[in-house]
A and B are shown apart, each in its own frame.
Chain A
């Protein structure tokens, strides 16, 4: 038994979004046109194909039709509802089903594959309070992913904790020759060299290893010795008018925490961000209109025995069974590609995409391994870009920002929204998609030890291209820091020893190779608590098995989950009254204490000043 397989015990079963083909289940993409479609082959990321992973597929999860939507409401197999605090909320989209399958407290140990085109994994993760990771474009093979917008699609991972996401990534990251857009091994090596050069020392050297063990080690190091001078960028353009106060609050808290642990918070400018959303909604529908051209009833889709020419235009009958949102995007895409409009829309949008990528490359201290390093002339830069010194604008390692401007909206409020309103939710997730960067959305207020029964809020960490492992490590550390903080708040800053809160890991005690000691002692050294210094971990050895697991039966039997985020076979459309899962807040403390407004450090205060002076409007 290699050390590889042991960490797979971090999760028991795998849910797969219904737009990733599987040989064992039909793949409907939430569309009537594919309602009976059984793929003859499985996607590369599915365990049967990818021999490294032994976790069984539990089922396919619902989604917005072909991944088009932000709330998982546009599906022929019924919408997905996130029951929270007595309200029916949007689970986010388009991987809403996958997110709920992971978030469901009744079924622990689920990890899920989603797809992230413009935030389809990070958005539902933020709304439902789980971890949603979009790797760099080209790290996970798209072979078997029914394309929505090929140049933006990535396979994303949803999990309860970052460690599980990291394990799943490590299983499926291999270079796949069947997907021409995956990064070859040589390119990966080259990217690694670029990163190692730009980030000298140990942090640079171990980046090739993506395995869960290395991940754990990285997190441990951050926890023990802090971030020591890491520069975190805060894009001023993201401080938009629509940003909800509680989201802004969480953002502040995250930045404050990072600063407390050695990060330097730097305001940065990404001037093209304001056009990114428009560019996305030109490029993605254009590619979608092309990808969906095959569903004409000749091979896919049901024809009802009439001629294709019945109706106003060719195939109008067959292709009429697309959902409203899909039809809207096909029309939009067909228009922006038409010979009269392409220059004004598609070509322009591609140029904006380049500018967005340039913005990121300029801001990140690590060069983009896919592009030659460019000199950015100060005179070329947007006037709004803040300069650090006379040499130019500041450079950072990561960008931290909210995942979504607001928390999950109620379904009721959704019904009043126009389609364009719902496009707004993607405003923070789309730039990383356009640039192909790794980005992770983590739940930020869930575990706060406060009486809040607030809706989940997501914080997003974006890194330079191919810097996936560091993004994961920083995200994992940030979560643990927050846990520690709430713990300390609870213990009124005086208790020397305390219990850790419920671990994010649902497999307490059998999390794999390394295990958190249920009763660590926390010793303060000096004035400031630096990370989880002093928390002891002990190796439980490779042969550790959870209680009750028979030898040789590493994989537990999974009971069949029947909630309506699973796409069911023979589903009747719009089964809203199905066995809806009731997602409760799993730790609600009865104690009340006033909301603690974090101390704004000097840097942060300066940033505030800058914002009040020149904060951008969307």
Chain B
């Protein structure tokens, strides 16, 4: 886990495009390469059917909804700014449940797989057989701690497990083991930026406080069949989850959705969990309350935030859009109730995709008292500073840091960063980083001493200049290469780990010579294309073979190519410049220039550049010479 998995980052930058097929695709490619970190979960094949939703096919439901909307005459919901309201302030708190990427269940040594034959990966304790006892699997702490560190939490030295009691068929023990009184991580926060898709009203960035992160058990999977039959798969019961609870500090629906999306990305980037929302690995509950902006403060207090209105909870939201839409619907419902003189009841509500309203699930009187009790069988968990330190040091770079490096230190635009990450499964991005590293070491900042030098001014300046240059070359010049024999989709045969037909060392050398004015831009292009063409003549067809002898041995080194073609940049002598200038001089233009139309000089300059076939003309010098020659004509 040196640095972020780029696929994740790419999707993160591209916002709405969240992993589905593409993500699985990446998993497949990852398997071929030496795995950086183990993935224990495999994909979940059966879509989750929650207990609350009736067994109506999803497509049919959407169709029916569309029909009913048409019948009502509101075929399109007006796209207005739904994020903020003048009179009312919305407050949202979110709870996210995420499945951890672990090998075993939380309290039994049964394997934590999801696509095994139902009810095969089950230990006695998972079924709560009388007399069976929980055995805390310490390894499950590791992804949980990574997640908590990614969310900037304080890891508690001592945490405990509690029992949360409620009856449901998917809960064999009659209680869920969770961390209520002493969670393992507290007081975290994550920062959301404009590019995360937060509401405009929240400005450039907003910090969302996280109250706590706790570990808990998953429940059994219910598969509903027609005829009121529910099948239970206890493979899932007891899988480790983390629950992330925010402070009620979110005031805009799209910020809430951005938060959930960002949490998913963060958790994946630190390898804490592998399944996204769409495959049921992540579920969100939201707490919604509203209050009048002008009236006195509300009477309620949640997690230390005072003056809020009565809140309701919407459970089991399984997509980012659902989070946003459910919040909007619930906010509007609450406002409507309040404006018509009613009062909001503390209740639990549900939301189904495609619906306009939230549905009441159970009211206050049916509210479950979970009767939290410390579990008497499970000893407190003591987490040492050494473990935290180790995980922190091996966790690598988080997406926001990565973007900061690309934009603030290397000087790419967000758009370029996005392009780098989106081409060839982010292979371009890896390639780019290799080029930059190589360039820096050619410029006297060897990789080995980056630790000491990275803060120096010279390093920063070089990184900025060379980074931008390399970005331009990798993205635009290399992107434009093509060959008749090449795969038109991917002429470079760029792999997702950043290996392609051209070695990054060679590209770095080209950019280095260009930066040092040893070759001109035009010659650099020539060298690059020669290199690319020769790879089709000489490179082994099997790229893996090539990777073994990295950097791939091409017949000619860069220096030889340049030497052979005589492309070393030899500046033109003054006389040559004068000759060249005279040869393209157009008297008509000269007169215009002399009469004050200074801009026309660029026309001559262009002519001069075109005239030069070897590309040795330095525009600055040429302009100087042109001026001198024209001045001579004034006499």
Residues of chain A whose beta carbon lies under 8 Å from any beta carbon of chain B:
20-21, 27, 29, 34, 37, 39-41, 43, 142-147, 149-151, 177-181, 286-287, 289-290, 292-296, 298-300, 314-315, 334, 337-339, 342, 346
Contacts and interface: CB of A to CB of B under 8 A. Distances in A.
Contacts of A40: 124, 129
A299 B371 contact: no
Interface stretch (B132-140, B385-393, B535-543): B132-140
Contacts of A41: 124, 129, 131-132
Given A181-B377, A290-B163, A290-B373, A146 B124 contact: no
Nearest to B165: A293
Contacts of A37: 130
A314 B167 CA distance: 9
B346 interface: no
A508 to B, nearest CB: 37
Contact of B372 (A142, A179, A314, A337): A337
B133 A21 contact: no
Interface in B329-371: 369-371
A512 B132 CA distance: 35
Given A180-B379, A181-B377, A298-B169, A337 B127 contact: no
B72 to A, nearest CB: 35
Contact of A290 (B124, B133, B134, B175): B175
B118 to A, nearest CB: 16
Contact of B133 (A34, A143, A286, A296): A143
B376 interface: yes
Given A296-B167, A299-B172, A43 B131 contact: yes
B571 interface: no
Contacts of A177: 135
B135 A180 contact: yes
Interface of B: 124, 127-136, 163, 165, 167, 169, 172-175, 369-373, 376-379
B131 A143 contact: yes
A39 B376 contact: no
Given A151-B376, A286-B373, A290-B373, A20 B128 contact: no
B134 A180 contact: yes
Contacts of A150: 376-377
Contacts of A149: 376
Contacts of A146: 130-131
A123 to B, nearest CB: 22
A415 to B, nearest CB: 31
A120 to B, nearest CB: 16
B376 A144 contact: no
A293 B133 contact: no
Contacts of B174: 290, 292-296
Contacts of A342: 371-372
Contacts of B377: 147, 150, 180-181
Contacts of B172: 294, 298-299
22 contacts: A39-B129, A41-B131, A146-B130, A178-B133, A180-B133, A180-B134, A180-B135, A180-B379, A287-B376, A290-B174, A293-B165, A293-B167, A293-B175, A294-B128, A294-B130, A294-B172, A294-B173, A298-B169, A300-B130, A337-B165, A342-B371, A346-B373
Chain A CB count within 10 A is highest, among B124, B173, B371, B377, for: B371
B167 A315 contact: yes
Contacts of B373: 286-287, 290, 337, 346
Contact of B130 (A34, A287, A315): A34
A292 B167 CA distance: 11
Q: Is the interface of A mostly helix, strand, loop or mixed?
A: loop
Contacts of B169: 298
Contacts of A27: 130-131
A20 B371 contact: no
Contacts of B132: 41, 143
Given A298-B169, A337-B371, A338-B369, A20 B131 contact: yes
Contacts of B127: 299
A34 B99 CA distance: 34
A296 B369 CA distance: 17
Contacts of B136: 180
B130 A29 contact: yes
A298 B128 CA distance: 12
Contacts of A179: 133
A173 B397 CA distance: 50
A290 B165 contact: yes
A144 B131 contact: yes
A292 B376 CA distance: 14
A76 to B, nearest CB: 15
A179 B124 CA distance: 13
Contacts of B371: 289-290, 334, 337-339, 342
Chain B CB count within 10 A is highest, among A37, A41, A180, for: A180
A410 B426 CA distance: 83
Contacts of A346: 373
A177 B108 CA distance: 12
B245 to A, nearest CB: 17
A142 B133 contact: yes
Contacts of B134: 180
Contacts of B165: 290, 293, 337
A293 B173 contact: yes
A152 to B, nearest CB: 8
Contacts of A145: 131
Contacts of B129: 39-41
Contacts of A143: 131-133
Please provide the 5 A-B residue pairs with the shortest distance between their CB atoms, ordered closest to farther: A293-B174, A151-B376, A337-B371, A150-B376, A144-B131
Given A149-B376, A342-B372, 13 more contacts: A21-B130, A21-B131, A39-B129, A39-B130, A39-B131, A40-B129, A180-B133, A180-B378, A293-B165, A299-B128, A299-B172, A338-B369, A338-B371
Chain A CB count within 10 A is highest, among B127, B129, B135, for: B129
Contacts of B376: 149-151, 181, 287
Contacts of B163: 290
Nearest to B377: A150
Chain A CB count within 10 A is highest, among B131, B134, B172, B373, for: B131
A37 B127 CA distance: 14
B130 A178 contact: no
A206 to B, nearest CB: 30
A103 to B, nearest CB: 27
A20 B134 CA distance: 17
B454 to A, nearest CB: 46
